[in-house]
Structure 1
Amino acid sequence: MKLTTRIAMIIVAAFAVTITSCKTTEANYRAAYEAAKQKTEESRGIEGTIYEKIRNEAIDSRLIVEGDSIPMMTVNVKIAASTTTPDIVKRYSVVVNQFKQIFNAKSQMSRLRENGYPDAFVLETAEPLYYVVATTTDDGQEAKKAYTNIRKDKSVVLRQPFPWILTPTRLPVK
């Protein structure tokens, strides 16, 4: 009887030690997070040095018109593959999508032109990313109206975070 009691006490003690030693702590979580973060940064390679810098140059802000706040970004862009002329690009452009391939951007630009946006064009960043623009204007009121109309238009398929307003860092020259 004493033997079974001793064995039971040893098992209970071992169980108690095991339970208390397996606690997760904030320090454990922080160490794991830091290790994962460092591994991610190392695996970026060229992505982290060149393209990340270009993305960070974009200035994320809001266009405030009549108390409404519309997402806006200031980006260094140029006209992509002769999709428009420099005099067409204005201060505010409503971006409906972005692509990594010019073919896809031109394809959506063509669909926009067929569906009532005859001035649609494509802008290119240095990355390159291709932004499909449905319409452009110099007036904040008109930009808000265009933004609202595009959001309501069922012929334009939008995914988050689109649409938004693009303001070029400098307007393309002739």
Structure 2
Amino acid sequence: MALAMTSCKTNESAYKKAYEKAKQYDTAQQQAAPVVETAPVVAPVEAKPATETQVVDNLDNVSVRQESVSLISGSGLKAFSVVVGSFGVRANAEGLMQRLKNAGYDAQVVKNDDKNMYRVVASTFSDKAAAAASRDQIRASYPDAWLLYNAR
């Protein structure tokens, strides 16, 4: 038993000596090598073309997405719509539509077949200015609301 205990101390001592020698070597290397500061490498920004959405008539600085959508439930779309939610599951979109209807909106659900997404429309308008004004008002409750131009 005593022999086993003394053999541990010998190995421990050997490890300690090796550690101290490595530490001295690192210290000597740091002192010998000059410190060179380099600027971080920054990757260039790559512009990707918009293939699925386009901005329509942006002369008045109101951003509008153009998508081809079809009516799933509601009274019918006009040219410009205020979208307050997008869902992959139809039941989720219909749930938000019902909450909007309870709040007094003429809410509808449309489907973008290209992206397979259900869009919840809070209101729809024939002209862009009225749609933008409605979107700005709706953003008090739904800050991510955006304008949709139906390409159909």
Unaligned 5+ runs, structure 1: 1-9, 34-54
Counting only pairs closer than 5 Å after superposition, residues 22-33 of structure 1 correspond to structure 2 as: none
Total equivalences in the alignment? 123
- Which of 49, 54, 61 lines up with 1:59 in the alignment? 54
Contact 1:97 1:131 in 2 (8 A): yes
Give the aligned residue type for 1:102: R
TM-score (norm 2): 0.65
Amino acid paired to 1:84: G
Write the distance in 2 (CA, Å) between the matches of 1:78 and 1:136. 14
Cα deviation for residue 114 of structure 1 reads 0.6
Decide whether the 8 Å contact of 1:97 with 1:163 is kept in 2: yes
Q: CA–CA distance in 2 between the matches of 1:20 and 1:78?
A: 64
- SS of 1:109 mapped into structure 2: helix
**Greater helix percent: which structure?**
1
- Distance in 2 between residues matched to 1:70 and 1:104, nearest whole Å: 28
C-alpha deviation, 1:18, in angstroms: 5.8
Any gaps of 5 or more consecutive residues in structure 2? 1-23, 45-49
Deviation at 1:132, TM superposition (A): 0.5
* Aligned mates of 1:25, 1:71 — CA distance in 2: 37
Contact 1:58 1:76 in 2 (8 A): no
Whether the 8 Å contact between 1:70 and 1:164 is mirrored in structure 2 is no
Superposed CA offset, 1:5-27 (max 9, x none): xxxxx956522456658x66656
How many Å separate the matches in 2 of 1:140 and 1:75? 15
Matched, 1:121 2:108: yes
Structure showing greater radius of gyration is 2
CA distance in structure 2 between the aligned counterparts of 1:61 and 1:19, rounded to whole angstroms: 58
- The two structures have a TM-score, normalised by structure 1, of 0.57
Q: Alignment partner for residue 14 of structure 1, among 12, 29, 43?
A: 29
Give the % identical residues.
26
1:120 and 1:132 in contact (8 A); partners too: yes
- Counterparts in 2 of 1:33-48, with a 5 A limit? none
